[in-house]
Amino acid sequence: MPALWISDAIAGYSRGGCNELDWTCNVDRLSEQLSHAPASPGAGAQPLTCFRGINQTPLHPQFSKVMPLQLHYLLRSTAKRPAIITKNYARLSIRMVSSHQAPKLKDQSLFKQQGLINGQWADAQSGETFTVTDPVNNAEIGTCPEMTRKEVAEAIDAARKAFADFRNTTPRERSTILKKWHQLCMENADDLAKILTWENGKPLAEAQGEVKYGSAFFEWFAEEAVRLYGDVIPSSTKGNRIITLKQPVGVVGIITPWNFPIAMITRKVGAAIAAGCTVVCKPGAETPYSALALAELGIRAGLPAGVFNIVTGEKNTKDIGLELTTNPSVRKISFTGSTAVGKILMQQSASTMKKCSFELGGNAPFIVFDDADIDLAVAGAIACKFRASGQTCVCANRIYVQKGIYDKFAKAFVEKVNGFKLGSGFDPDTTHGPLIHDRAVAKVKELVDDATSKGAKVLTGGEKSELGKNFWPPTVLGGMTNDMRIAKDEIFGAVAPLFEFESEDDVIALANDTDVGLAGYFYSNNVNRIWRVAEALEVGMVGVNCAIISDAVSPFGGVKESGFGREGSKYGLDEYTVIKSVTFGNTGAK
C-alpha cells in the first residue's frame, strides 16, 4: 500500500469538503481505534470505520479499507507523508501508547485564557497572544495574552491602590480569605489537577498531590497571619518604652516557573496575602492556566480587586520582569527559577533597593553510606530523583553510593526504574510523563552524551523515546566521574547518575564541590555520622533517611548561588514584612 495512495485518500477527503479542523477531529477518533489495534498487522486486524468530520462531511471512502497498524506504519514513513498528516502525526502516534485527550472539567469556568488586572479578566491591549501547548503531543491547548510593560504597569498601579486599604485589614480578615481559598482549592482539586497535567504533562496522581501540597500553604499562612507578633524591648534610656511592629512590605512582584505551577505560586502568594501585601504575579509561559484557575478561586474566596493580579507573556517575559524589578511601586521581588536569571533580576532590583527572595538552581547530592538500609535508600532515591520526571530543583542530581554497597544498590535501583511506564499523564498506568518541551530533552541528551563520551555506562534508558519529541525515558548512568558535566550542571530531567565513593570525608568534599546549595540527602544508621554530615553539607535543606522534604510548615530555601530567603514555615511570612521600631519617650513618669 504505497504512501501515494494515502496521499490520494487525504486529497480526496479534502476535496470532499472537509477542512483541517475536521481532519484534526478525525485524528482523535482514528487514534482511539489505533490504540485498540492488534500489536502487528495481520491476524485480528479490522478495517477502520468511515469517520465523519465535525461538519459531518464523510471521510474519503477508501479510508475505510485501511488497516489500523498498516496506517500507523505507513505514516511513520515521512518521505511522502502529506503535510496535513505530518502536522498531526505526533498526536496520532501517542495514542498508540496510551489514551490521551483534553480533560473534561466539572467547572469549565476555571479555564481562563486572559490575565487578571484589578479584578477584571484582561487581554493584551495589542490583541497579541501566545500559544500554550500540551507537552505530550504539542497540540494547542489555548492562548493567553502577550502582555507588555504597559499592562504590567497597570497591574502594579492596581496593586498599589489596593494596598492602601488591604494593608489595614485585620489579620483575622486575611486569614478568613485564605481559609476560604484553601477550601475552594480542595473542592475543585480534580479540575485543578487536570489543568495542571494538561499543560505540564506530569501524571495526574502527581498533579493531585501538588494541588493538595500547594493548597496547604493557604491553610498554613491563614493561621500564621494572626501570629504577626512584635516585641517589647527594654530601653537603655530611663522613661522610654520600645516596641516593634511587623508591617506588610507593600506591592510584591512574583515570578514563578512551570514545574510546579500551583505550589510555586501558593507558597509565595499565601505568605504575601497573610502579611497584608498585594501581588502582581507572572507565571511560567508554559503553564499559565493553573495560575489563572487559582486566581478565579481567589476571587470567589473574597480577594478584593487589585490584591492579586496576573500578567501573562512569552516573548515579552524579559520586559515583564524588567517592569516588575524597576517599577518603584514594587517593594519586593520573589522569584523561583534559574540562578542565571536570578542574578539578572537581582541586578535590576538593585536600582530601587527592593527586598528580594530567590529560590534558584540546585545540584542536590544524594549520599548512601554502607551502614544505610539499602531498600529504604533505593526507594528514597527513586522518589527523590524521578518525581516530576526529574524536573524539580531539589531532585537528586548526583547519587553517591559507598563502594561496599555500590553494586547491590545499582542493581536494585535499575530494577525499580525498569518498572516505570512512560506516557500520557491521563493514563492511570503512566508513572512518568514527558519533559516540558524538546529543549529540555535536548539538554538531557547533551548531558548523557557528555557522560558516556567520558566513560559512563548506560545501565538503562539513555535513548530518545519514540513516544514524541518531548519524551525522555528514565535513565540510569553508572561509572560517573567528577569531570563529567552532570557533576556540575543541574540535570532537570529523568537521568540518575551513580557515583562511587570511598569515605565520608571524600563524599562531603564532592557533595560541596558546587556553586549552589539548595538541598542534600543522605542515608545512614550511624547517629554520630548523621549529625556530622547534616551539619557539614553546604545546603539550605537536608533530608536524613528521608527523600521528600517539602512541607508547608518547613522553611524552604538555599545557600550560595541557590539564593536566599525562605518560603513556607513561620519564617516565610517574615519575607513579606518589614520591622518598624516605635520608641515612646517620657513614659511611666509620676
Three-state DSSP class for residue 445:
helix
Residue 541 main-chain phi, psi, to 5 deg: -140, 135
* Radius of gyration from C-alpha coordinates of the chain: 27
Q: Cell numbers 504577626 correspond to what residue?
A: 228
| Residue-level pLDDT at 53 | 31
| Residue-level pLDDT at 588 | 77
Q: Where in the chain is the domain with CATH 3.40.309.10?
A: 364-551
Residue 303 main-chain phi, psi, to 5 deg: -65, 125
**In this structure, what C-alpha cell is assigned to residue 54?**
465535525
Locate the DSSP E strands across 256-361: 278-282, 308-310, 330-336, 355-359
| Residue-level pLDDT at 81 | 39
Q: Which of 318, 310, 314, 359 is nearest to 336 (CA)?
A: 359
* 71 contacts 3 by C-beta, under 8 angstroms: no
**At a CB cut-off of 8 Å and minimum separation 6, what does 83 contact?**
none
* 220 contacts 553 by C-beta, under 8 angstroms: yes
Catalytic residue among 359, 504, 567, 575: 359
Q: Cell numbers 520573589 correspond to what residue?
A: 334
DSSP 479: S
pLDDT beneath 70: ranges in the chain: 1-100
* 539 contacts 558 by C-beta, under 8 angstroms: yes
Per-residue 3-state assignment (H helix, E strand, C coil) for 127-173: CCEEEEECCCCCCEEEEEECCCHHHHHHHHHHHHHHHHHHCCCCHHH
| Residue-level pLDDT at 103 | 86
Q: 359 an active-site residue? A: yes
Residue 149 main-chain phi, psi, to 5 deg: -60, -30
Q: Return the half-sphere exposure (C-beta side, CA atoms, 13 A cut-off) of residue 62.
A: 14
* 251 contacts 156 by C-beta, under 8 angstroms: yes
Residue 236 burial (CB < 10 Å; 0-12/13-18/19+)? exposed
| First-to-final CA distance of the chain | 107
Q: Which of 242, 239, 248, 180 is nearest to 215 (CA)?
A: 180
- Please give the Cα distance from 103 to 100 (Å, whole number): 9
| Residue-level pLDDT at 453 | 98
Q: Which of 340, 181, 150, 138 is nearest to 274 (CA)?
A: 181
Annotation: CATH topology of 147-298+307-360+570-574: Aldehyde Dehydrogenase; Chain A, domain 1 (3.40.605)
Residue 531 main-chain phi, psi, to 5 deg: -70, -45
The length of the chain in residues reads 590
Three-state DSSP class for residue 471:
coil
**At a CB cut-off of 8 Å and minimum separation 6, what does 585 contact?**
237, 239, 240
Q: Cell numbers 469517520 correspond to what residue?
A: 51
Count of CB atoms situated within 10 Å of the CB of 532: 14
- Please give the Cα distance from 264 to 199 (Å, whole number): 15
- Please give the Cα distance from 112 to 181 (Å, whole number): 17
| Residue-level pLDDT at 98 | 45
Q: Where in the chain is the domain with CATH 3.40.605.10?
A: 147-298+307-360+570-574
Per-residue 3-state assignment (H helix, E strand, C coil) for 361-423: CCCEEEEECCCCCHHHHHHHHHHHHHHHHHCCCCCEEEEEEEHHHHHHHHHHHHHHHCCCCEC
Per-residue 3-state assignment (H helix, E strand, C coil) for 285-299: CCCHHHHHHHHHHHH
Q: Cell numbers 498599589 correspond to what residue?
A: 160
Partners of residue 129 on adjacent β-strands: 145
CA separation, residue 44 to residues 34, 39, 67 (Å): 13, 9, 10
Superfamily of domain 364-551: Aldehyde Dehydrogenase; Chain A, domain 2 (3.40.309.10)
- Please give the Cα distance from 358 to 140 (Å, whole number): 32
Q: What is the pTM of this model?
A: 0.84
| Residue-level pLDDT at 87 | 41
Three-state DSSP class for residue 11:
helix
Residue 564 main-chain phi, psi, to 5 deg: -155, 165
